[in-house]
């Protein structure tokens, strides 16, 4: 085996099998939960009453490089676009739930339709630290402006220790409390907004940092032009931050609704998996990607996020290994 093949094989193993280490989960206050991996901060999970939706921010590489945009949480990061203030780190919501917008739901934003919904913490159910992994489990209510609960969200996030990677597994179940329709719109659902250097397109009025990002999906389609609106098992967004190669991959589980998912992936650093935007993604006004569920008909979503060094090499094998894993109780 030559040197290049050896490096590829080692990356595949690293991507597939989280290694031993230490994951520490703490709740320093009622507004957030902190995740530390191998003695270094990884991310915070914001769940406070002033938060329009729960989100993770920032996300870091194993070496400590921040891969998510700072704005609007940190408004003075040089070179960042100050657009789309609802793009907070890593989040999970949708822009049309019975006509209410849970996606663009910042106080500063004006939205059409019935108005803005809010995802409200009900309980923190489990915080577990461990040598190989750590777990956060929490329950949220998706509420209308009048206070009606449309959905109960049960979320479990598992964080893994690894010397080179940062991996998170998401297991989210939405249980309707009334008849709930997820409308057909591109703006949803499982999403991340990446750091400026990982964007594909250089803004005309911003010279630095230099945008170095490139999207690639499981079918090896590249750039926004060939990834946006396409169906794929995963998408990777890679580039360089301060001359260090980094990447963020999002995996859609094959047991999710309508696999493989469509991708709302933009050159300005947005990467989102969304099964409900068919008429936008297909460019067909006659198509309808909406879904109605009723009490007793929960819908489950599973995703994996991998923050990795380098490019997308090894992600095909990593996805296959994750997708074929037997579920543990």
Please spell the DSSP secondary structure of 235-254, one letter per residue: EEEEEEETTEEEEEEEEE-T
Q: Cite the DSSP H helix spans in the chain.
A: 3-16, 223-227, 278-281, 315-323
Is the Cβ–Cβ distance between 55 and 190 less than 8 Å?
A: no
Q: What is the pLDDT of residue 326?
A: 84
DSSP-derived secondary structure letter, 211: P
- What is the spatial distance between Cα 309 and Cα 172, in angstroms, rounded to a whole number? 27
Rounded Cα distance, 315 and 217, in Å? 10
Largest Cα–Cα distance in the chain?
A: 64
| Cα–Cα distance for residue pair 68/84, rounded to 1 Å | 14
| Residue 128: count of CB within 10 angstroms of its CB | 12
Whether the CB-CB separation of 172 and 158 falls below 8 Å is answered with no
Q: What is the pLDDT of residue 17?
A: 47
Is residue 95 within 8 Å of residue 88, measured between CB atoms?
Answer: no
Contact yes or no for 116/103 (Cβ under 8 A):
no
Angle between the N-to-C axes of helices 3-16 and 315-323, in degrees from 0 to 180, rounded to the nearest 10: 30
Calculate the dihedral angle through the C-alpha atoms of 47, 60, 198, 252, rounding to the nearest 10 degrees.
-60
- CA dihedral (204, 209, 212, 218) positive or negative: negative
Q: Identify the pLDDT of residue 11.
A: 52
CA distance to 101, 173, 293, 307, per residue, from 138 (Å): 22, 11, 22, 23
| pTM of the model as a whole | 0.93
> Cα dihedral sign for 140, 146, 149, 153?
negative
CA distances from 162 to 36, 38, 131, 208, 213 (A): 12, 8, 10, 31, 24
**What is the pLDDT at residue 313?**
83
| Nearest residue to 311 (alpha-carbon basis) of 192, 234, 216 | 216
Tell me the mean pLDDT per 10 residues along the chain, length 329: 45 49 94 97 97 98 98 97 97 98 94 94 98 98 98 98 97 98 97 98 96 97 98 98 97 98 98 96 94 98 96 91 85
Distance CA 51, CA 36 (A): 22
Residue 7 is predicted with a pLDDT of 43
Which residue in 34, 37, 35 sits closest to 21, CA to CA?
37
Is the bond preceding 189 in cis, omega lying within 30 degrees of 0? yes
pLDDT of residue 312: 78
**How do beta strands 55-57 and 100-101 pair?**
unpaired
Report the C-alpha gap between 276 and 299 in whole angstroms.
Answer: 13
Q: What is the pLDDT of residue 291?
A: 98
Residue 5's pLDDT is 46
Domains with residue ranges and CATH for the chain: 3-323 (2.70.98)
Say if CB 82 and CB 47 are below 8 A apart.
Answer: no
């Amino acid at each position: 085996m030559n040197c290049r093949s050896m490096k590829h094989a080692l990356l595949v193993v690293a991507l597939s099998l989280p290694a031993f280490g230490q994951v520490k989960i703490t709740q320093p206050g009622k507004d957030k939960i902190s995740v530390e991996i191998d003695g270094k901060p990884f991310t915070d999970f914001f769940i406070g009453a002033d938060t329009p939706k729960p989100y993770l921010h920032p996300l870091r590489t194993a070496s400590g490089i921040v891969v998510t945009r700072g704005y609007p949480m940190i408004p003075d990061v040089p070179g960042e676009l100050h657009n789309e203030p609802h793009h907070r780190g890593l989040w999970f919501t949708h822009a049309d739930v019975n006509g209410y917008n849970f996606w663009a739901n910042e106080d500063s934003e004006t939205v059409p339709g019935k108005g803005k919904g809010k995802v409200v913490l009900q309980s923190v159910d489990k915080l577990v630290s461990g040598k190989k992994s750590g777990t956060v489990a929490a329950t949220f209510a998706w509420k209308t402006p009048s206070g009606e609960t449309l959905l109960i969200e049960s979320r479990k996030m598992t964080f893994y220790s690894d010397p080179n990677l940062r991996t998170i597994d998401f297991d989210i179940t939405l249980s309707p409390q009334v008849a709930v329709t997820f409308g057909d719109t591109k703006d949803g659902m499982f999403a991340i907004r990446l750091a400026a250097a990982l964007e594909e397109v250089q803004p005309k009025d911003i010279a630095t940092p230099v945008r170095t990002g490139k999207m690639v999906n499981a079918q090896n389609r590249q750039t926004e032009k060939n990834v946006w609106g396409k169906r794929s098992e995963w998408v990777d967004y890679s580039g360089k931050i301060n001359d260090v190669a980094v990447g963020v991959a999002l995996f859609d589980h094959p047991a999710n609704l309508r696999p493989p998912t469509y991708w709302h992936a933009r050159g300005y650093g947005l990467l989102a998996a969304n099964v409900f935007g068919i008429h936008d993604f297909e460019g067909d006004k006659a198509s309808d990607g909406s879904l109605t569920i009723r009490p007793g008909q929960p819908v489950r979503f599973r995703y994996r996020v991998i923050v990795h060094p380098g490019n997308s090499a090894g992600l095909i094998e990593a996805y296959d290994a994750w997708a074929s894993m037997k579920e543990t109780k």
